[in-house]
Chain A
């Protein structure tokens, strides 16, 4: 379990993390989401005991990070941002160093070492210097380091950053498997990851907590939630007809590929009426889709306080 209570961290005049209170229970995979510079890493560093909070507190498995740092650190597996490791060591040496630091008995340590190396498919690179590894491999070594002692709480700062799609998939599977009895906190700015991994999402920007919900709840906030989109050549006539349906609020046509999106009025379900209408009109629809909602749009809305979904608000570094 991870709990933070009014966790705050200031750098001079800048408040990087502003009175953040979250609680992650065993079995939960919480995605900490936010634009760059939102305070995700700073918050994690405080929970991991690397930075001292300006005010507020953090607890890992009930151990206050400031008062019982060693107990908290023993319960925690942590992958820092960028997966730092000692470049001049080989993968084997590095993992053995971690085993020693974690105070394993030689036998038990060796068994865990074998298991983790297999889990992260590091067998072939054990003898290589970490400096010579690719970014993806280094990330995997960092992950191996974090899960070596089989911790009840896992905190991963951008675990799939720099991995190729196959490696991302493997890491997500690993997290999925580990998620069952553990408490997992991951930070990310990849929205697909939230879908793939998390059963809860916390969005922060400028250090403040802005949303705390399940991915589905967030999607429901999207303008696109419940909308129906389809591609149909020569559908100019039907647009007008669709607009007359009582459940429909608006219709948009993508200027690039001509895809039509029909938005429902609040609380209305429009898949069936739209389908019926299209069939009656004898229109050939190549493919039709009920939208779940777009996380990226909700994310933008929440983090920039900007309601218009279409506009891309950049420059929020």
Chain B
């Protein structure tokens, strides 16, 4: 695991020596706060929970995660450091895993830094902290899936802009696919079983299930498997590049 660790540390460090980390953290925290209190009617609901806070997370990730992952491989391809990295003694999956873990830990840090909102809600009332913890866990897992998508699509191209747009596109599809409006739109044309199947692909559905405090193995597996799947696809893409 030494090479994974080395890649992880290098990536994390590069977030913090470039403005990426700070810009990300500031925007994430500010937006999370604003959206919770204004768009989410945090006070008006009169309930001591963080539901409005977590509801905003998919939409925050939609913008911020692609920004975090777009450079992951595109920059290495363009700058020629990919050749350096891939001629060091490590397997492709190790490089991928290291980069993924760095981004995932970083989002984890961003989530930890939202603790004032947790303190606030505990000060105002007595929320179910187990549900809140589940919300954080669900949010972090969902971020992992988003990052895996971004990592894969960043390997596809040497252009960071293309990587950003593709990632955001795939993510928005995976968020929207389970929405009732989308499902209703297709209900007339597509068989019911297919629609039900597609609905299960929705990030939102699984995230909401977890953030209600219900830890179902199926929801956990969904995020775990989708992350692994996208990361593997990314590894295959990188490997394919070596033969082209």
Contacts and interface: CB of A to CB of B under 8 A. Distances in A.
A70 B91 contact: yes
A70 to B, nearest CB: 5
* Best-surrounded residue of A74, A86, A89 (most CB of chain B within 10 A): A86
Nearest to B240: A52
Nearest to B20: A88
B10 to A, nearest CB: 5
Chain A, interface SS category? loop
A103 B5 CA distance: 11
B241 to A, nearest CB: 9
A86 B12 CA distance: 13
Given A70-B89, A86-B10, A89-B14, A103 B83 contact: no
Contacts of A69: 91
A103 B243 contact: no
Interface in B1-27: 2-3, 5-7, 9-10, 13-14, 17-18
B72 to A, nearest CB: 13
A97 B5 CA distance: 10
B242 A51 contact: yes
A82 B80 contact: yes
Contact of A100 (B6, B80, B91): B6
B236 interface: no
A52 B242 contact: yes
Contacts of B87: 48-50, 73, 76, 78, 80
A98 interface: yes
Contact of B81 (A49, A86, A100, A103): A86
A93 interface: yes
Contacts, number: 71
A312 interface: no
B88 A45 contact: no
B17 A89 contact: yes
A130 to B, nearest CB: 11
B89 A84 contact: no
A101 interface: yes
Nearest to A41: B83
B2 A87 contact: no
Interface of B: 2-3, 5-7, 9-10, 13-14, 17-18, 79-84, 86-91, 242-243
7 contacts: A70-B91, A86-B81, A89-B10, A93-B13, A97-B9, A97-B10, A101-B90
Given A48-B87, A86-B14, 9 more contacts: A69-B91, A86-B10, A89-B17, A97-B10, A98-B88, A101-B6, A101-B88, A101-B90, A145-B84
Those 6 A-B pairs whose CB atoms lie nearest each other, nearest first? A84-B80, A100-B6, A73-B89, A52-B243, A48-B87, A80-B83
